[in-house]
Amino acid sequence: MRLLPALCAVLLPGVAAAQTDHDGQAWINVTVQGPVRDRLIYFAEVQPRFGGDLSRLDTLLLRPAIGWQLSKRVAVYQGYARVISPIVDGRDRAEHRPFQQLTWTLPQGLRAEFQSRTRLEQRWRNDGRQMGLRLREFVRGEAAFARDGSGVRALVSAELFWALKDTDWGNRAGFDQLRTFAGVEVPIFGRSTAEIGYLNQLIDQPGPARRMNHAAVLNIFIRHR
């Protein structure tokens, strides 16, 4: 794992100047999504994340949402996430996280597609009493290797997390984290796809050290009409 932190230090000089704790992880995400009726749509995802250099379950996330297709390219959702973070020799940290989401896709060409997702989260944790409020902005681009747009696609994305208020459980207003991803998207059946790649997660946390996770990622999206 020494090469990845060194590359990140070159790409992120501000991070290199501060103390940073690194961890090797693996993230798996399975999402089922599609229409319910007319313009009513939904998605539901299960996401286990393994950390401690893959020695333990770091986080388990369950996230369903119901939405409305405003147009072919724009959708809004109301959802809820349940987040469990096991703590070694302590009480597990649990979070209730309702959220609102706006997703839109730019007009796509035969070989490329660009998407944006804006999400506002309300966060309650069992180690505090106050509600956290966080804004997330996600952008994603993909491009097919084949001229006809079929087959495997190159994929890059970035997501900025910004806390909007302080809380008594340690969240501070301002920069919260940044996730960047690079990999490939592979068709598996019908409109369903799998994404495989590397994710870098930079987290601001209480204390002098930031945290940087280096994650191998497998995302499976099961889409039905």
pLDDT of the residue at 12: 52
Q: Which domain holds residue 69?
A: 3-223
- The number of domains in the chain is 1
pLDDT of 165-181, one tens digit each? 999 998 899 999 999 99
User: What is the largest distance, in Å, between two alpha-carbon atoms of the chain?
Assistant: 54
Count of helices and strands (H, E) across the chain: 2, 11
pLDDT at residue 10 in the model? 43
Q: Number of C-alpha atoms within 13 angstroms, CB side, residue 144?
A: 13
Question: Which stretches of the chain drop beneath a pLDDT of 70?
Answer: 1-18
Question: According to the model, what pLDDT value does residue 3 have?
Answer: 45
Residues with Cβ within 8 Å of residue 100, at least 6 apart in sequence:
76, 77, 78, 79, 119, 120
Distance CA 217, CA 66 (A): 25
Mark 7-23 as b/e (b = at least 16 C-beta within 10 Å): ebeeebeebeeeebeeb
Which residue is it, tokens 């309702």? 98
The pTM of this model reads: 0.89
